[in-house]
Structure 1
Amino acid sequence: MIELYYAATPNGLKARLFLEEAGIPYRLVPVSLSKGEQFKPAFLAVSPNNKIPAIVDHEPADGGAPLTMFESGAIMLYLAEKTGRLMPSDLRGRSEVLQWLFWQMAGLGPMAGQIGHFNVYAPEKVPYAIDRYTREVSRLYGVLDRRLEGREFIAGEFSIADIACYPWIVPHEAHGQDLAQFPHLSRWFRTMAARPATVRTYEGVENAYAPKQALTEQERQVLFGQGKSPTAV
Structure 2
Amino acid sequence: MKNILLQNNEYPIIASPMLSKELGLPAASFLQKLYYLLNETGKYKRKKNLTQHNNRKWWFHTFEEWTSTLGFFSLSTIKRAVSKLKELGLIEIHKLDSNKSMRVNYYTINYKKLKELFGISVSQTKTVAKPKTETETIVGTDTPVEPEATPEQLATIPSQNRALYRQLRQHKLDIAFDDPRLHFWGNKTNTVIAYTASASNRLNIKRWQWHTPEQVLPEHLIRI
Query: Normalised by the size of structure 2, how large is the TM-score?
Result: 0.32
Q: Which structure features the higher share of helix residues? A: 1
Q: Higher relative contact order at CA 8 Å, sep ≥6: structure 1 or structure 2?
A: 1
Query: Normalised by the size of structure 1, how large is the TM-score?
Result: 0.31
